[in-house]
Amino acid sequence: MVKVEMTSRHQALKLLLAIIQQGRNLTDVLAELNAESTIDNSKDKAFIQELCYGVCRWYQQLEWHLQQLLKKPLKDKDLDIKLCIFIGFYQLLYMRVPDHAAIAETVQITKALKKMWATNLVNAVLRNLQRQKESLAKQLLTAPAAAQFSHPAWLLKVLQQAWPEHWQTICTANNQYPPLTLRVNQQKISRDNYLKELAEENIAALPTTHSPYGIRLEDKVAIETLPYFQQGFVSVQDEAAQLAAPLLQLQTGQRVLDACCAPGGKTLHILEQQPQLSACVAIDNSATRLTRVEENLQRHQVTAELICADSGAVDSWWDKKYFDRILLDTPCSATGVIRRHPDIKLLRKATDIIALVKQQQRLLNALWPLLAPGGLLLYVTCSILPEENSEQIAKALQSHSDMQEVVLDDQQWGLSLPFGRQIFPDSQFMDGFYYCLLKKLTYL
């Protein structure tokens, strides 16, 4: 029997199966792929990554196309064949791969899977799509919204209810490629001078609108090739995330807690904003993710007290010394960063939101007593769901008589809500983030 080599398309299929069947996230499976010595060609890795991101991003729309072209649905046990077809669909609809190559190479996967019965089926479905592209594109205009906007129906319903005037632009933004944004370490170089460094390297870039530290690159660039990246002159961080540290109003000698800190971008920004803190304590419950934080700190040549613990299990790590500032970048649905992590559309379920809301409430209630009178706590999510954001804060204000919102009306970004401000992922190249600043009263 002739041995069939694993092609890039077959490798992409394996990764997609790991996401859907095992519930693993796209970032982790791609990291493992990049660590494999068996795939040395960077073009192959980029092609695999494009297929995985593309199928995740357009999954619901690809599903609709399959429904139009396949008379009898595939069985659940044939998820691999379904994803094989989706890989072919994505190439035909969204990539510049020649049609004949996309079809022929995708069909080859069935042989590698030893499902010869599917060879003719996959070939026929892909060729039907090739012939019917234009007519299907017209039909898609009147298809259900889940197919048109390629979002799971439950999430689409939630967005329509929460943001009746914004849901379409949110969904459209979620399907776009995210911008690549840097944060300049102004302890080492000014933004203007770093822009000059980029210009000398012929790297097109623009200053961000709302963050005075941000730079948006106009083209894809290998991060490690950026000027002085290894020396900690810049970090990769979305502009919306860059707003966190300045909102803390850091001052010399303060004691600061960064709860749920990994991967450490905001920890670094805190230390850049105020190098003369008395302490910066950064906590995360994942030892693996804390290793990434440590690596980033070392690259920037700064230090923080790193603790591997559940931030909400205060008795296990707190030394009874109050914090002047607390950054609670709480675990959330991540519905504001779907364009960066399109696998969220496949992994997140409606029932997850209930558990996340409970976890957020637990963390906020546990950390609030650690804040010194007069101190500030910044509540942050990368969610656009009200129950995780403004509704969460409304409950907290009712529960804590010494808690007061610091209204952010002077900010020019985001939408003002009854409590806090919401940034949508379509807002001037920023991801979807929610911010609410809370102050602890010095009297009851």
Chain segment 134-146, per-residue pLDDT in tens: 999 999 999 999 9
Query: Does the pLDDT at position 1 exceed 70?
Result: no
> Which structure tokens are listed for 362?
């637990």
Confidence of residue 5 (pLDDT cuts 50, 70, 90): low
* Cα 377 to Cα 50: distance, rounded to the nearest angstrom: 39
Alpha-carbon distances of 17 from 8, 80, 434, rounded to whole Å: 14, 7, 32
How far CA 335 is from CA of 132, 176, 329, 363, in Å, comes to: 33, 14, 14, 20
| CA distances in angstroms from 252 to 255, 274, 319, 357, 425, listed in the order given | 9, 7, 21, 34, 34
Is the pLDDT reported for residue 295 higher than 50? Answer: yes
Residue 273's pLDDT band, with cuts at 50, 70 and 90, is very high
- At 37 the pLDDT is 55
CA-to-CA distance for 151 and 149, rounded, in angstroms?
6
Span 113-138, pLDDT tens digits: 999 999 999 999 999 999 999 999 99
Average pLDDT in the chain:
95
Question: Residue 395: exposed, middle, or buried by beta-carbon count in 10 A (0-12, 13-18, 19+)?
Answer: middle
The one-letter code for the residue type at 170 is I
pLDDT computed for residue 442 by the predictor:
87
CA distance 290 to 27: 16
The per-residue pLDDT for 34 is: 80
Torsion angle of C-alpha atoms 133, 55, 144, 168, degrees rounded to 10: -110
β-strand pairing of 433-440 with 415-416: unpaired
Q: Which amino acid is at 432?
A: G
Confidence label for 40 from pLDDT (cuts 50, 70 and 90): low
Q: What is the CATH superfamily name and number for domain 241-440?
A: Vaccinia Virus protein VP39 (3.40.50.150)
Residues near 100 by beta carbon (within 8 Å), at least 6 away in sequence? none
Tell me which long-range contacts 95-101 makes (C-beta under 8 A, separation of at least 24). 95/50, 95/54, 99/130
**pLDDT tens by residue, 48-60:** 999 999 999 999 9
pLDDT at residue number 444: 53
The catalytic residue positions are: 382
Terminal Cα distance for the chain, rounded: 80
- How, if at all, do strands 255-259 and 323-329 pair? parallel
Residue 395, pLDDT > 70, answer: yes
Only one residue has tokens 């007290």, namely 305
pLDDT value at 33 more than 90 = no
380 neighbors 93 (Cβ within 8 angstroms): no
The domain over range 8-144 is classified in CATH as 1.20.140.10: no
**pLDDT: which is higher, 89 or 222:** 89
What local confidence, expressed as pLDDT, does residue 39 receive?
A: 65
- Supply the pLDDT for residue 42: 79
Would strands 433-440 and 205-207 be described as parallel, antiparallel, or unpaired? unpaired
**pLDDT above 80 (res 428):** no
* pLDDT level of residue 6 (50, 70, 90 thresholds): confident
pLDDT of 141-168, one tens digit each?
A: 999 999 999 999 999 999 999 999 999 9
Q: pLDDT of 217-253, one tens digit each?
A: 999 899 989 999 999 999 999 999 999 999 999 999 9
Domain 180-236 fold is Alpha-Beta Plaits (3.30.70)
The pLDDT tens digits of the residues spanning 299-354 come to 999 999 999 999 999 999 999 999 999 999 999 999 999 999 999 999 999 999 99
pTM: 0.95
Give the pLDDT score at 2. Answer: 39
Locate CATH 1.10.940.10 in the chain. 8-144
Q: What is the mean pLDDT of residues 58-80?
A: 96
